[in-house]
Amino acid sequence: MVIGVLALQGAFIEHEKMIESLGVDCIEVKQKEDLENIDGIILPGGESTVQGLLLKEYDMLEPLRDKINNGLPVFATCAGLILLSHVIEGESSPYLDTLPVKIKRNAYGRQLGSFVINKKFKNVGELPLIFIRAPYISKIDNDVEVLIENDGNPVAVQYNNQIAMAFHPELSDKNYLHRYFIEQIVTPSLKLAV
Ligand code: GLN
């Protein structure tokens, strides 16, 4: 198995370390040819406007969208979630537009600053959920599954082959959610133990 990590901008090296800690190979995706021969892709946090612009400039937006719509497993964090979303509040058009959710950019950041929530999970105990100027998921379609909630709001969601979260699991020292992504590629029927 080979996982591609979109490496145009943002916190991609931290994701590579997580994937390697699971004994899985990864490559950096920097051009559209890199999208071939990968079994899944990670869209890292960073600055979604810059990442979106670079995806367009390098002719990667449409090939990546097609691959995701055709079932390529995706694990998206923060800016990555923004790139996937159908609707970005206050902006006229989306980027990849594959995930039926509505989000508000920098929503947690402006109101609350960056923060960490410690959330307890079955089997592994507490994990830190690290929010950095995070997008707020304001609406989800009926068939989008909520994986993790905070104060009644979804902060991690799954829609078939797409897993997306507002926070940064790659900045913690726990690879639980990356492991779930790898497990999903092998066994999509498996559920996250929360
Ligand atoms: N605020 C960023 C954006 O809109 C996302 C923040 C992050 O990835 N930590 O792109």
Q: What is the CATH number of the domain that holds 172?
A: 3.40.50.880
Is position 110 annotated in a ligand binding site?
A: no
Residue 151 lies in a domain: yes
Distance of CA 90 to the CA centre of its chain: 21
Residue 85 lies in a domain: yes
What atom in ligand 1 is closest to the CA of residue 10? 8
* DSSP state at residue 167: S
Determine the distance separating the centroid of ligand 1 and the alpha carbon of 13, expressed in angstroms: 16
Residue 29 lies in a domain: yes
pLDDT along the chain (194 residues), means of 10: 98 98 98 97 97 98 98 98 97 97 84 83 92 94 96 96 97 96 95 91
Own/partner long-range contacts of 48-53 (Cβ < 8 Å, ≥24 apart): 48/79, 48/80, 48/82, 48/83, 48/95, 48/105, 50/8, 50/9, 51/6, 51/8, 51/9, 51/10, 51/79, 51/83, 51/95, 52/83, 52/95
What's the pTM?
Answer: 0.96
What's the domain range around 104? Answer: 2-186
- 105 CB under 6 A from ligand 1? yes
Residue 68 lies in a domain: yes
Residue 76 lies in a domain: yes
Residue 43 lies in a domain: yes
Number of domains, the chain: 1
Give the per-residue pLDDT at 114: 84
Residue 107 lies in a domain: yes
Give the per-residue pLDDT at 84: 98
Determine the distance separating the centroid of ligand 1 and the alpha carbon of 114, expressed in angstroms: 11
Residue 31 lies in a domain: yes
Give the per-residue pLDDT at 179: 97
- 81 CB under 6 A from ligand 1? no
Give the per-residue pLDDT at 107: 85
